[in-house]
């Protein structure tokens, strides 16, 4: 393993320890996906009560 590989691995490990940052990034990405679906007039697919369900998200634009 090269010194560059070790440095890159250390940076990745540091970022993976930032649980709050990871959770915030995931929330932001999910919100963006919902808004994109709402703008396109498309439902999102969710898992609810053991079933795949299409959920209308058109009201998400009102909350923006």
Kindly report, residue by residue over 8-49, the tens digit of the pLDDT. 999 999 999 999 999 999 999 999 999 999 999 999 999 999
> What's the pLDDT score for residue 1?
87
Query: What are the CA-CA distances from residue 21 to residues 7, 17, 24, 25 (Å)?
Result: 21, 9, 5, 6
Q: How many domains does the chain have?
A: 1
User: CB under 8 Å to 63, separation ≥6 — which residues?
Assistant: none
Say how many C-beta atoms besides its own lie within 10 A of residue 57's C-beta.
21
Range of the domain at 41: 3-61
């Amino acid at each position: 393993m090269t010194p560059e590989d070790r440095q890159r691995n250390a940076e990745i490990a540091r970022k993976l320890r930032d649980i709050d940052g990871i959770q915030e990034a995931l929330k932001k990405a999910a919100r963006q996906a919902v808004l994109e679906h709402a703008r396109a007039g498309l439902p999102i697919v969710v898992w609810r009560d053991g079933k795949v369900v299409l959920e209308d998200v058109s009201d998400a634009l009102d909350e923006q």
